C-alpha cells in the first residue's frame, strides 16, 4: 500500500547548503543526522549551471544546456567565472561566445553585462536564476526553504563574495553564511568519518581551483592556510581540447562563429568525460568526427594541471608543514575525476587521495552540515559539537605616508576577526584623514588591489602628531570587510562596508603571493626608502621652523653646520638609498641638538620665571601624562593597537 509523506505545516523550514558551481550546482540538507543531496524528478542531483534566455522566458539546467549549441549568445554557461569581473577585463572576452553590452548600453564598465535577446543581464542576475532553480527543488522536496549556506572558492575576493551573497538575496534566499568550498569538503569528511589530523583539500572544479590545509581535532576545524586561482578549472581543459578539435576538423578559421565555438566546447567536454574511463573516445562536431586518446588528452591539459602545483606548495609552506606530515588528501570538484589530476596529486604529495565521497557532491554535503549547525538543528541535537575556523585569504591594510601599506589583518588570519591600528597626522593643521583600504601582500599600496577610499573630515587644526586616528577592520564569517575610523580627541567617526564593484584579475589573483615572494627584497627596500623619506621630510620641516624661530640663539657657525646637514638630507631624500637617508637624518638630528637644548632651556626659564617651586611641580605632574601621550606620535608613524 502506498504511503503518504506527512508534513507539519508548523515545522520550521530546514536549513540547506548550496554548492553554486561553475559547471554544476547542487543543494543538500541534513536528514536523520546525515547530509543528503536533493535530486530532481529524474533522480539527478547535479543541476547544470546553465541559463537560457529565450522568447518564452528563462530556462535553467539541462533544458538550457540543450539550447546552447543553437543559441550560444543567449545561453550563459560557467557564469561563476564572471562573478566580480569587469567588462573590460581581457579574460572576460575569452570565456565564451557571448555578446557584451558596450559603454553606451552599460556605462558601468566594472560589471559585466551579457546581451541576451533584447535585454542585458549581469552575472549576479544569472547566478540568481540558478539559485531560484535550486530553491524550487527544495520546495518540491521539503515544501519550504530555510536559511542557506552558499559555498564559494576560498580564493574569492571581497567583490566575488559580495556578488555571490547578492545573488542569494536576489533569489529570495536568507543567506546564513558564505563557506569556503575546501572547508565544506573537509567538514563533510570530518563528520562522516570522525577523522582527525591534518588534511590538504585539493579542489579543482569547473572554473576555480582552491587548495586548503586544515587541522581537524576534537571537533575543531581550523584552516591553517589557503590559496589557489579563481580562474582555473575544468573549463580550461575544455578550451584547450576544443582548440585541438577545431584544428583537427579544419575549423580554426571559424572561431568567430559563436555556434562553432559552442559546438567545439560541448564536444570537448563530452570527450573529456569519456576519457575518464576509457583509453580512447570518439568526438563529434556536426558531421565531422574523429578519435582522441587519453594520452593525447593528457598532453593537452598537463600545462593546465601543472598550474596548480605552485599553489599547493605555497599552501604547505604557509601552514609550516611538509607533505609527508599530512594525514590525508581530499579531492573535490569534477575535474579531479581526470586520471592525470589524481596522478599529479599522488606524485606531488606522496599519498593516495581520498575520493570515496563523490567529489561533485562533497561540497554541498559539507554546506548542509554547516547550515544545520548554524541553525542549531539536528546535528546539535544529536550531540555533535563542531567549531569551524576559516581564514582571510589575502592581507588587508591601509596606505600610510609614502605609499607604504600597514597590514592590519594579515593573510591566513582566522575569521571572523577584527584588528585596530592607531595613526596620527603628518603635517600641521590637517583637518581630515583620507583612508585608502588595500588588499594584497606587497609593501607599497600601488602594487596591491585598491578596495575603497573614504575621508574622515571635521578634525580641528592641530600640530602634527597630536591627532589620533583609530582604524578598525572587522571581517565577518563570510570574509567580508567593514572599516571603522574614529578620531579620538573629537569623537568624529565614519564606517564603510567595503563593497568593491569588481574583483581581482586572473593575473593578480594567481600572482599576488608569488609577486610578494619574488619582489620581497625590492619591496622591503622600497618600504625603507618611503619611510625614511617621510621621516626625513618631517625632520626638515621641523628644523626649518626651529631656525626661523631661533633668532639670536643660533650662532653663525652653528647655522652653517645645520644648513649643510639640511642640504645633505634633502639630497639623500631625492636619491634612492634608504641607508643614506637614515644617516643624513641622524646627522641633522645631532647638528640641531644644541639648538633644541637652548630653546628648551629658554622656554622653561620663561615658563617658571617669578613662580614658586610647588606651582611648577604641580604643572609638571599634570603635563607628564600629556607628554607620554604625544611621545608615541613624535615620529609621525603608525602605532599598531590590539586585535579585537
Q: Could you report the per-residue pLDDT of 8-63, keeping only the tens digit for each?
A: 555 678 899 999 998 899 999 998 888 999 998 888 899 999 999 987 778 899 88
Cα(226)–Cα(12) distance, integer angstroms: 36
Q: Under a CB-based contact definition with an 8 Å cutoff, are residues 55 and 43 in contact?
A: no
Q: How many angstroms separate the CA atoms of 341 and 323, rounded?
A: 17
Q: Do domains 3-192+360-382 and 517-631 have the same CATH topology?
A: no
* Distance in angstroms (rounded) separating the CA atoms of residues 225 and 632: 34
Bridging pattern class, strands 34-37 and 24-31: antiparallel
Which residues lie below 8 Å from residue 153, measured CB to CB, with a gap of 6+? Answer: 160, 180, 181, 203, 205, 208, 209, 210, 228, 230
Comparing C-alpha atoms, which of 479, 482, 502, 508 is closest to residue 493? 482
Q: What is the pTM of this model?
A: 0.61
What pLDDT shows up at residue 233?
85
Answer for the pair 410, 395: CB distance below 8 angstroms, yes or no: yes
Rounded Cα distance between 216 and 328, Å, is 11
Residue keyed to cell 570530518? 190
Q: CA–CA separation, 407 vs 397, rounded Å?
A: 4
Q: What pLDDT is recorded for position 615?
A: 64
Contact (Cβ atoms closer than 8 angstroms) between residue 35 and residue 188: yes
The CB-side HSE value for 529 (13 A sphere, CA atoms) comes to: 14
Which option is the CATH number for 234-305: 3.40.50.1820, 3.40.50.720, 3.20.20.70, 3.90.640.10? 3.90.640.10
Three-class SS state of 614: helix
Alpha helices by DSSP H, listed for 376-462, are 378-381
Model pLDDT, residue 108? 63
pLDDT of 389 reads: 59
Scanning 376-448, the segments in alpha helix (DSSP H) are 378-381
Q: Which residues contact 406 (CB under 8 A, 6 or more apart)?
A: 397, 398, 399, 400, 421, 423, 638, 640
Residues in the chain, pLDDT under 70? 1-11, 86-96, 106-110, 190-195, 218-219, 253, 256, 376-391, 393, 412, 414, 477-479, 496-524, 527, 607-644
Query: How far, CA to CA in Å, does 367 sit from each of 82, 114, 185, 330, 371?
Result: 23, 30, 8, 16, 6
- Spell out the SS3 assignment of 516-558: HHHCHHHHHHHHHHHHHHHHHHHHHHHHHHHHHHHHHHCCHHH
Enumerate the domain spans of the chain: 3-192+360-382, 234-305, 396-503, 517-631
420 SS3 class: strand
Burial class (CB in 10 A: 0-12, 13-18, 19+), 360: buried
CA atoms lying within 13 Å on the CB side of residue 124: 19
As a residue count, the chain comes to 644
From 155, 119, 149, 114, select the one nearest 134 (Cα to Cα). Answer: 149
pLDDT of residue 48: 92
Q: Which residues are catalytic?
A: 19, 80, 181, 203
What CATH number does the domain located at 3-192+360-382 have? Answer: 3.30.420.40
Architecture of domain 517-631: Up-down Bundle (1.20)
Which CATH number fits the domain 396-503, given the four candidates 2.60.34.10, 3.40.50.10140, 3.40.50.970, 2.60.40.1190?
A: 2.60.34.10
Asked if omega into 416 is within 30° of 0 (cis), the reply is yes
Q: What is the pLDDT of residues 439-470, one digit of tens each?
A: 777 778 777 777 777 777 777 888 777 778 88
Which burial class, exposed, middle or buried, applies to 91 when counting CB atoms under 10 A from its CB (0-12, 13-18, 19+)?
Answer: middle
Distance of alpha carbon 124 from alpha carbon 20, whole angstroms: 12
Report the alpha-carbon distance of residue 351 to residue 346 in Å, rounded: 5
pLDDT the model gives residue 43: 87
Amino acid at each position: 500500500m502506498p504511503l503518504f509523506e506527512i508534513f507539519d505545516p508548523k515545522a520550521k523550514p530546514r536549513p540547506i547548503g548550496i554548492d553554486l558551481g561553475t559547471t554544476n550546482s547542487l543543494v543538500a540538507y541534513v536528514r536523520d543526522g546525515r547530509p543528503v543531496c536533493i535530486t530532481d524528478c529524474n533522480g539527478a542531483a547535479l543541476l547544470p549551471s546553465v541559463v537560457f534566455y529565450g522568447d518564452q522566458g528563462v530556462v535553467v539546467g539541462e533544458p538550457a544546456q540543450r539550447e546552447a549549441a543553437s543559441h550560444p549568445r543567449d545561453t550563459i554557461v560557467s557564469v561563476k567565472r564572471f562573478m566580480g569581473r569587469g567588462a573590460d577585463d581581457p579574460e572576460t572576452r575569452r570565456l565564451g561566445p557571448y555578446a557584451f553590452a558596450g559603454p553606451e548600453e552599460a556605462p558601468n564598465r566594472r560589471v559585466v553585462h551579457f546581451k541576451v535577446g533584447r535585454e542585458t543581464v549581469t552575472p549576479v542576475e544569472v547566478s540568481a536564476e540558478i539559485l531560484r532553480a535550486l530553491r524550487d527543488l527544495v520546495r518540491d522536496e521539503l515544501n519550504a526553504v530555510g536559511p542557506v549556506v552558499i559555498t564559494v572558492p576560498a580564493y574569492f575576493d571581497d567583490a566575488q563574495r559580495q556578488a555571490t551573497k547578492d545573488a542569494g538575496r536576489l533569489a529570495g534566499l536568507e543567506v546564513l553564511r558564505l563557506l569556503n568550498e575546501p572547508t565544506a569538503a573537509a567538514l563533510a569528511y570530518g563528520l562522516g568519518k570522525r577523522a582527525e589530523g591534518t588534511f590538504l583539500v585539493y579542489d579543482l572544479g569547473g572554473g576555480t581551483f582552491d587548495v586548503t590545509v586544515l587541522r581537524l581535532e576534537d571537533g575543531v576545524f581550523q584552516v591553517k592556510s589557503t590559496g589557489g586561482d579563481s580562474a582555473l578549472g575544468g573549463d580550461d581543459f575544455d578550451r584547450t581540447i576544443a582548440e585541438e578539435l577545431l584544428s583537427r576538423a579544419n575549423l580554426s578559421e571559424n572561431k568567430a562563429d559563436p555556434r562553432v565555438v559552442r559546438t567545439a566546447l560541448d564536444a570537448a567536454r563530452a570527450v573529456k568525460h569519456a576519457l575518464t574511463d576509457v583509453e580512447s573516445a570518439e568526438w563529434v562536431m556536426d558531421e565531422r568526427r574523429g578519435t582522441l586518446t587519453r594520452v593525447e588528452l593528457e598532453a593537452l591539459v598537463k600545462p593546465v594541471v601543472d598550474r596548480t602545483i605552485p599553489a599547493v606548495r605555497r599552501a604547505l609552506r604557509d601552514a609550516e608543514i611538509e607533505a609527508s606530515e599530512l594525514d590525508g588528501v581530499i579531492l573535490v570538484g569534477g575535474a579531479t575525476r581526470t586520471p592525470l589530476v589524481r596522478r599529479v596529486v599522488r606524485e606531488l604529495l606522496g599519498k593516495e587521495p581520498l575520493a570515496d565521497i563523490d567529489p561533485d557532491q562533497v561540497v554541498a554535503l559539507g554546506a548542509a552540515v554547516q547550515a544545520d549547525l548554524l541553525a542549531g538543528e539536528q546535528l546539535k541535537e544529536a550531540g555533535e559539537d563542531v567549531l569551524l575556523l576559516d581564514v582571510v585569504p589575502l592581507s588587508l591594510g591601509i596606505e600610510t605616508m609614502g605609499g607604504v601599506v600597514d597590514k592590519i589583518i594579515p593573510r591566513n588570519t582566522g575569521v571572523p576577526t577584527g584588528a585596530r591600528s592607531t595613526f596620527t597626522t603628518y603635517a600641521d593643521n590637517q583637518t581630515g584623514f583620507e583612508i585608502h583600504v588595500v588588499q594584497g601582500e606587497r609593501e607599497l599600496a600601488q602594487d596591491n588591489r585598491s578596495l575603497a577610499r573614504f575621508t574622515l573630515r571635521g578634525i580641528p587644526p592641530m600640530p602634527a602628531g597630536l591627532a589620533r586616528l583609530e582604524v578598525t577592520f572587522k571581517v565577518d564569517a563570510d570574509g567580508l570587510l567593514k572599516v571603522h575610523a574614529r578620531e579620538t580627541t573629537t569623537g568624529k567617526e565614519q564606517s564603510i562596508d567595503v563593497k568593491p564593484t569588481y574583483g581581482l584579475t586572473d593575473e593578480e589573483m594567481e600572482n599576488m603571493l608569488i609577486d610578494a615572494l619574488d619582489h620581497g627584497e625590492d619591496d622591503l627596500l622600497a618600504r625603507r626608502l618611503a619611510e625614511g623619506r617621510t621621516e626625513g621630510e618631517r625632520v626638515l620641516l621641523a628644523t626649518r621652523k626651529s631656525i626661523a624661530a631661533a633668532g639670536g640663539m643660533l650662532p653663525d657657525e652653528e647655522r652653517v653646520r645645520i644648513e649643510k646637514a639640511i642640504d645633505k638630507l634633502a639630497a639623500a631624500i631625492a636619491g634612492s638609498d634608504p641607508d643614506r637617508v637614515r644617516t643624513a637624518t641622524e646627522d641633522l638630528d645631532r647638528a640641531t641638538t644644541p639648538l633644541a637644548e637652548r630653546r628648551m632651556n629658554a622656554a622653561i626659564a620663561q615658563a617658571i620665571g617669578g613662580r614658586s617651586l610647588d606651582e611648577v611641580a604641580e604643572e609638571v605632574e599634570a603635563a607628564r601624562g600629556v607628554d607620554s601621550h604625544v611621545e608615541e606620535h613624535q615620529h609621525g608613524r603608525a602605532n599598531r593597537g590590539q586585535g579585537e
